[in-house]
């Protein structure tokens, strides 16, 4: 495989998955997985909490590694934030749920 083909395939498989989970009643939980290790997830959570006025944390998942959890349905907010900051391209985002 040439270097150019290798560069074209780079980044297309690295999806960021944004999911929503139903808790009890009307309460929901938004999870974000797949953010590269280059970024400090704790600082991202701090920015998310301040911008979206919600609580959040970074948990260690045995299968998926570090996963960001936020209270409430923050799927659209997270997508906009990650695109504005330039962490991901639109084709790398996968939004799941409802």
- Position 13 scores a pLDDT of 62
Whether residue 82 contacts residue 88, with contact meaning beta carbons closer than 8 Å, is answered with: yes
Cα distance between residue 33 and residue 39, in whole Å: 12
Per-residue model confidence as pLDDT tens for the chain (98 residues):
555 555 555 544 689 999 999 999 999 999 999 999 999 999 999 999 999 999 999 999 999 899 999 999 999 999 999 999 999 999 999 999 87
Is 70 exposed, middle or buried, given 0-12, 13-18 or 19+ CB atoms closer than 10 A?
Answer: buried
Q: Whole domain around residue 70: which residue ranges?
A: 3-95
Strand-pair category, 56-61 with 65-71: antiparallel
Q: At 64, which CATH number? A: 3.30.780.10
Work out how many domains the chain is built from and give that number: 1
């Amino acid at each position: 495989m040439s270097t150019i083909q290798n560069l074209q395939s780079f980044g297309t498989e690295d999806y960021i998955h944004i999911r929503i989970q139903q808790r009890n009643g009307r309460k929901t939980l938004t999870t974000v997985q797949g953010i590269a290790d280059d970024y400090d997830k704790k600082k991202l959570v701090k920015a998310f909490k301040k911008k979206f006025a919600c609580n959040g944390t970074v948990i260690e998942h045995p299968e998926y590694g570090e996963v960001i959890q936020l209270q409430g349905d923050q799927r659209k907010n997270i997508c906009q934030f990650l695109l504005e900051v330039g962490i991901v391209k639109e084709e790398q985002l996968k939004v799941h749920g409802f």
